[in-house]
Structure 1
């Protein structure tokens, strides 16, 4: 399979992921600290702060926090996408680090293949519909 050369470079992807994982873990540590001090952290969702309407990803932090505490029902209710984020935060940094240490490209190649796979409307449209349904559910729940 020939991979598209226009897809983001390996170094750029690994830099973006490293920053994203660092920020994700930093945010979780902050939220865990806020929870232990019985305070509520700020809402960073620009869409919700401006419009008052939750975005499709609203509730993911609460979902990941619920997963950390073993509350799978609470995680699902907060936002089912939180399970994907939790898996990504658990697997992604290890995979990235292993690629860097072993001088491999497996994460980058998998990313390229996934991006090509997702370009097919037969796959992309149903996934987009799931995100839209999740967004409607977030609005209905009044997150």
Structure 2
């Protein structure tokens, strides 16, 4: 719910042509963007139909936007059908990621994204 609230605030700020504050503690303290910096801008770009702008802001934004759409629908279906498929899938992914052969390449992708954020000066 906090994520949807933040997006609503950002949409309102975009309409009023003001830029909202950054909530990134790492960037506020060090001046260096974190790996997730730019995800709000990426999602805002997707909402406005700018996929290239979204990818430039933060490629992980597409993944987060997909989760923001699919997650609540999946949860609603689970509640209506009295199932726990979302929770069981989450647990399976968590176990799957415990394998270093899978976790290390994903960590490398996050590091590459972080360097990309630093390079473009977010």
1:124 to 74, 95, 103: 103
2:23 to 37, 41, 44: 44
- Cross-structure match for 1:54: 33
1:105 to 48, 68, 84: 84
SS in 2 for 1:43: coil
TM-score, normalising length: structure 2: 0.98
Shift of 1:98: 1.3
- Cross-structure match for 1:96: 75
TM-score, normalising length: structure 1: 0.84
For structure 1, the 5+ residue unaligned runs are 1-21
Runs of 4+, deviation exceeding 4 Å: none
CA distance in 2, matches of 1:43, 1:83: 20
Aligned Cα root-mean-square deviation (Å): 0.5
- Cross-structure match for 1:12: none
Shift of 1:95: 0.6
SS in 1 for 2:66: helix
Shift of 1:94: 0.8
Question: 1:1-143, aligned counterparts within 5 Å?
Answer: 22-143=1-122
Shift of 1:24: 1.0
